[in-house]
Amino acid sequence: MFDRLRKIDESVRRSRAAFFGRVADLFDRRQLDEDLWCDLEDLLLQADVGVATTDALLEKVKDRVAREHVRETDRARDILVEEMAEVLGGVEQDLRLERGRLNAILVVGVNGSGKTTSIAKLASYLQQRGHAVVVAAADTFRAAAIDQLRVWGERVGTFVVAHQPGADPGAVVFDAWQAARARNADVLIVDTAGRLHTKLNLMEELKKIRRVLVKQDPTAPHEVLLVLDATTGQNALVQAREFLSAVGVTGLVLAKVDGTARGGSIFAIARELNLPIKFLGTGERVDDLAEFEPRAFVQALLRSA
């Protein structure tokens, strides 16, 4: 528990130093007046929380402050923490995995988002918790992706099923399912392409992979995780919408959290799409993956810089 909270705290250091720590400072030195609310709005917008989410958040906080007759800035800050955590934590967080069956996790995201590294981290995370994991290298359009997964697989001790570059991704997924069955694995993680010649081709390829999984198990895939690069800000929200409509995303992995000073887009994504954030990528090492805890995340963000 302590290690996980430490990782979360360290991963948001840049966002805290740039914007969110200044939010905490507002409540340390100010009265609850209109200037405070205006300054808070400015900081949230600068941090990439987004206009709609900022407006909704401030409305809830100010409403509670009024209804509860709050006069102390410390209590107002606690209300802000509670409401921000509620934005992030209103939906299920845990992976939907069941013992005694083969669980398929489809991992999607654009090239450069940190998808392949996140898959390696996820495989290691699951193995440490007693799961037997197989990985399907179904991003056959990039030889580098296949090679990278093989290297990661050797490093974390995960069996990787891969074909030659340019092979049919559906065939890779089919073979990986059979290999997972033969090895009595209970988790199959499927990598997918992040870019094809057109956006339409990409989404059609993802739908095809999904159909292959459904033929093996009508309930598959059991999770569809979208990896988003936290450094892309509001662009991450656009990506999330596209993948959600194409393949039914069930949760998010927010990669490179430690690399951005504008971590506020996470609130817009959670609120506008109602998608649970499952994990945070907190660094470059294979164990730098933290289960997402909304309140711990917000408290780490709002510590004084």
The band of 196, judged by pLDDT with boundaries at 50, 70 and 90, is: low
In a domain, residue 257? The reply is yes
Q: How far is CA 38 from CA 24, 35, 50, in A?
A: 14, 5, 15
Average pLDDT over residues 76-80: 95
- Do 136 and 26 have their domain in common? no
Parallel, antiparallel, or unpaired for β 223-229 and 103-108?
Answer: parallel
- Do 116 and 73 have their domain in common? no
Read off the CATH number of the domain in which 76 is found: 1.20.120.140
pLDDT above 60 for 1:
no
- Do 68 and 178 have their domain in common? no
Q: How far apart are CA 123 and CA 286, in angstroms?
A: 9
Read off the CATH number of the domain in which 193 is found: 3.40.50.300
pLDDT above 90 for 167:
yes
- Do 145 and 181 have their domain in common? yes
Q: What is the pLDDT of residue 279?
A: 93
pLDDT, one tens digit per residue, over 198-239 is 677 888 888 899 999 999 999 999 999 999 888 777 677 777
Structural domains counted in the chain: 2
Q: What is the pLDDT of residue 230?
A: 80
pLDDT, one tens digit per residue, over 272-296 is 878 889 999 888 889 889 888 899 8
- Do 115 and 66 have their domain in common? no
Q: What is the pLDDT of residue 261?
A: 63
Q: Which domain holds residue 39?
A: 2-89
Q: How far apart are CA 173 and CA 167, in angstroms?
A: 11
In a domain, residue 97? The reply is no
The band of 242, judged by pLDDT with boundaries at 50, 70 and 90, is: confident
DSSP state of 280: E
Q: What is the pLDDT of residue 127?
A: 96
Average pLDDT over residues 107-132: 92
User: With the CA atoms of 256, 276, 272 and 61 taken in that order, what torsion angle do they form, in degrees rounded to the nearest 10?
Assistant: -90
In a domain, residue 6? The reply is yes
- Do 205 and 60 have their domain in common? no
Average pLDDT over residues 115-134: 95
